[in-house]
């Protein structure tokens, strides 16, 4: 049997100020396109069972366009599969805080073949593929519901789907109180496959157990994810080994840091221009270390910044001041985001509609000059 595991699609997610020609936020459009690519990729492998391990949507109440597009894509997907089994497990992002509030994913569950676990753990007996699926949605973990972690229907195949943060996925610096479960306590050896959701980086814990990872860059800190491809997971019971299938997304690039120590602003601009070599319109981060506060203000007024911003969906500059001695033998640094008024204005002015005949470069420069005057007067 072939199992397709997809997770954390976060449909309805939006970010940055750019707009697609359709009128949608560009990132919202991107995430829809990526979801469709994943569905198309899954179809080519003809899985017997599809598991979505949570956070189908980014919010509890997605907008009408997101609902309409998601329903249409999943209906076409299920129709192409002959309405074969598709099991959806609710995540923390798309679960209402009150059980009395309806869950929009119940609409998805009306598509033939789809089964949906919304609040408490639920077992789905699927005789047509001789399979049992135990779903533990986010709310089940939050309420500490007692669940028997073993198959009970005596089927040939058994799948466990859990949406929550594993102890193993948390950085060592994070208090383990934030973990929802420990992978070692899931008894994964009792199940044919264990599909984990919530952590956006694809991570394997056993030949039959993993976080699929998200299908696009939709977390609050995408930079820890850029080294791991996005996509979905295929598990073939005959092989007994999971395989991550990469699917293309809009590229996110974390450029090598630039050391500004003993360099003029002009030299930093040159280095930024040299570093900014890429195709398409990616999401880009550039870190600059050792830059003095007085130079940082000038940095965002450079023409190269505006030129690079124009070639990116979003260009984020992180400025880190020179290290200083704290007096106790340790060193402290001051870090600032590139989302200063200057950078926000530059992004807005480059992406906004302006009257015909208006010089966009002069428009942007005028705004930066006014900001500088205001800062000097403050």
pTM for the whole structure: 0.83
Q: How many alpha carbons fall within 13 Å on the CB side of residue 88? A: 24
pLDDT tens per residue, range 202-249 = 999 999 999 999 999 999 889 999 989 999 999 999 999 999 999 999
Average pLDDT taken over every residue of the chain:
87
- Residue 339 has a pLDDT of 47
190: nearest Cα among 221, 143, 233, 158: 158
pLDDT at 135 exceeding the cut of 70: yes
Interval 107-122 mean pLDDT? 94
Interval 170-192 mean pLDDT? 84
pLDDT at 326 exceeding the cut of 50: no
Could you list the beta-strand ranges (E) of 62-176.
86-89, 114-117, 122-126, 131-136, 157-163
CA 249, 252, 256 angle in degrees (round to 5)?
155
How far from 158 is each of 8, 188, 233, CA to CA, in Å? 22, 10, 17
pLDDT at 20 exceeding the cut of 50: yes
pLDDT tens per residue, range 242-280 = 999 999 999 999 999 999 999 999 999 999 999 999 888
The CATH number given to 2-246 is 3.60.21.10
pLDDT tens per residue, range 64-113 = 999 999 999 999 999 999 999 999 999 999 888 766 556 788 889 999 99
Segments of the chain assigned to CATH 3.60.21.10: 2-246
pLDDT tens per residue, range 292-321 = 888 888 888 888 888 999 999 999 999 988
- Residue 330 has a pLDDT of 41
CA 32 from centre of chain: 12
Pairing of strands 209-211, 203-206: antiparallel
- Would you say 7 and 211 are in contact if contact means Cβ atoms under 8 Å apart? yes
How far from 248 is each of 10, 22, 251, 269, 356, CA to CA, in Å? 16, 21, 8, 31, 36
């Amino acid at each position: 049997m072939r199992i397709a595991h997809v997770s954390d699609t976060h449909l309805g997610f939006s970010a940055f100020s750019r707009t697609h020609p359709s009128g949608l936020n560009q990132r919202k459009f991107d995430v829809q396109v990526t979801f469709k690519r994943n569905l198309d990729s899954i179809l080519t492998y003809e899985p017997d069972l599809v598991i979505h391990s949570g956070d189908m949507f980014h919010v509890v109440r997605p907008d009408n366009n997101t609902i309409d597009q998601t329903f249409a894509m999943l209906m076409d997907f299920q129709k192409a599969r002959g309405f074969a089994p598709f099991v959806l497990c609710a995540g923390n992002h798309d679960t209402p805080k009150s059980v009395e509030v309806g869950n929009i994913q119940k609409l998805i569950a009306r598509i033939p073949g789809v089964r949906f676990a919304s609040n408490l753990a639920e077992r789905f007996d699927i005789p047509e593929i001789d399979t049992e699926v135990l779903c533990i949605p986010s709310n089940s973990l939050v309420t500490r519901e007692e669940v028997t972690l073993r198959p009970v229907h005596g089927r040939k195949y058994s799948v466990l789907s859990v949406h929550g943060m594993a102890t193993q996925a948390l950085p060592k610096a994070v208090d383990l109180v934030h973990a929802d479960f420990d992978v070692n306590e899931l008894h994964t050896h009792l199940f044919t496959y264990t599909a984990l959701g919530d952590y956006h980086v694809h991570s394997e814990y056993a030949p039959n157990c993993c976080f699929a990872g998200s299908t696009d860059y939709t977390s609050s800190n995408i930079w820890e994810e850029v080294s791991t491809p996005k996509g979905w997971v295929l598990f073939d019971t005959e092989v007994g080994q999971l395989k991550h299938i990469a699917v293309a997304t809009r590229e996110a690039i974390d450029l090598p840091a630039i050391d500004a120590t003993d360099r003029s602003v002009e030299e930093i601009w040159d280095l930024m221009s040299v570093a900014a070599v890429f195709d398409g319109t990616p999401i880009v981060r550039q870190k600059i270390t050792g830059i003095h506060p007085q130079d940082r203000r000038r940095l965002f007024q450079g023409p190269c910044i505006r030129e690079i911003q124009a070639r990116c969906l979003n260009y984020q500059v992180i400025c880190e001041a020179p290290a200083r001695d704290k007096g106790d033998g340790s060193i402290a640094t001051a870090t600032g985001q590139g989302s200063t008024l200057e950078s926000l204005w530059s992004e807005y002015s480059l992406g906004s509609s302006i009257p015909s005949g208006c010089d966009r470069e002069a428009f942007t420069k005028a705004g930066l000059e006014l900001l500088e005057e205001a800062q000097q007067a403050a």
